[in-house]
Each structure stands twice: as structure tokens, then as C-alpha cells.
Structure 1
Amino acid sequence: MGRQREQLAFDHRLRQISGSAIRKAMAEHGSDIKRMRACLLSAGYVATDEDIVAAWFYGASPYATSWRALPSNNLELLARLLGDPGPPWVPGTVIHGHWKATLVDPDDGNGDRLLELADDVLAAMGWTIGDTLDVKRLPGGGLRMRKIGTT
């Protein structure tokens, strides 16, 4: 049995670089991205290529727009990817995956249910109490939620 891998995601709310710049870097620096992914994997982490690129740009500066060379040593590369100060990673299950929650009966007799969201989920999504969320049911039975307003 393989060891458990932790999914990481770059906190894109802090990203100051355009999606087109990220896509360009992904096209031009595939071998660097592959090496960064391998370094993260060796330490028990997985991340998408887009998140790796965004984090690498952010590690240079939140406003970086040019690709910086990778260190030649993999341990130094890993330290830059995960180090402090380093890119703002969050648990990937919050951003790119799924989480499970339980519907709670508020015991008010009307049959409604409440969905309680954990504080780390709220923080990672940039949501606060009082925000208005749009909720859509997915074909597999899951829900997709997005913020549509603040009260």
C-alpha cells in the first residue's frame, strides 16, 4: 500500500498574476514544473501544475511576471516550494477537491436542514458568515456552491 499524499493548492486569492501568464509558463517551462511536481511528490504532497506555477511566481514576489530559474539541488527546491516564508498553500481538498459535511436538523419543526461549514473551509473559500451562496445539485448527488453576495 502506498503512503498517503496530501493535496496542496495555492491560495489563488493572493495571486497577482494573470491566468494567461500562468498558461504561458506552463507551456514554456514544462520540465521545470515536472521537476517541482516530483519534488513535492517525494515529500508526500501533490498539486496541480497551475498551482505549482502560481506558487513559483508568488515565491519570487506576489507581483512577479517572469520565470525564475530553479535551484540545482532538489532539497533546496523543495525548501523554496514549502519553506517559510513560502507560497501560501492551503489543503487541496478545500480548493480542488471535495469535503464531506452533515446536514443538521435545527429542531424547529419545519423539516429544513442546515449545512455547517468548517472554519478552514470558509477561510479557504474567502467566505464569511452572512455571505449569500448559490447552491446547485450535481448529477452525482453532490453540491456546488459559490458566493454570489454579501449581506
Structure 2
Amino acid sequence: MAIVHEGCLTCPRCREYVIEIDPGDFPDGPPEDGESPTPCGECAPHVEADKTAALRTIVADWEICQDSFGDDISPDMLPVVITVPATSRDEAIQAAAEKLQTHYGSSVDHLYRTDIETGEWFGNDAGDFEPLLRICAVFVGEPELDDLDEISEVIR
């Protein structure tokens, strides 16, 4: 929930109302959407990092995993290829996990699961989850993909 401060604009990244309106910047009044053209002090370093981020493409295959009954299964699914902007491998894996969660949601028919959490896609550092996907390769830059539906599922 956004913190509202009278006379402030929202940060374009965190959406909090923390940036004071400078009347010199807006002689005709504040923008209609109430959003500042610049990020707040907390988000500015992250925005700079986003600008220096390179595209990272993760190629991953499905692990043997447990279904909702606890039985081991080998999903009959194509490998996935996910491209995300990131400044590091770990950041790319986290962004890819979030993109997978958005793409598939918490329910994947072939895995016989309806309760998948973001940390399960590649596992997490805390070791709370067994990974659903095994990373086969991480490419930095803009690789040209031979986007054939028969060989992989490209998630954009």
C-alpha cells in the first residue's frame, strides 16, 4: 500500500508518494498520473543497475520432481528458454523464476501440482525447495534464438 504525502509524486519504481513536487518542473501543475519522471532516493541505485543490466537467457530442463501425492514424476514438457534483463546470474535466476510464476501460475497440469511457489522453479538459496527446473546454460547478451515450438518453450 502506497504511503501518501500531500504535495508529492509517486516514484515510478516503488509507487510510493515520496518525491516532492518542484513547481519549477511543473509550471502547468503536476502530471495527471501523479508519477515523477525520476525515481526516489531508495530506488535510484536500482534504476541505474537496470540501465546497466544485460539480457541473460536461461535454458533449463525439467527435473524429476514430486507431484501433489509425493510420487516422483518426470514431466513430459519441453525445456524452457527465458530471457530477462539482469546484472548478475543470481538476479537473472530470480527474474526468470518470477517470469515463470507469471507464465505458468501456481498450477501446472503436467506436474500435477496446484501449489507451486516462485522459489520452487530453480530452488532457492535457503534450500527450502527442490528445484523444478535444472539450468543447462546461461547466455549473456542477445542470442539469436531458433524459436521452434517443437524443441523448447520460449518465454518472453
Q: TM-score, normalised by structure 2?
A: 0.24
For the pair shown, the structure with the greater C-alpha radius of gyration is 2
More helix by share: 1
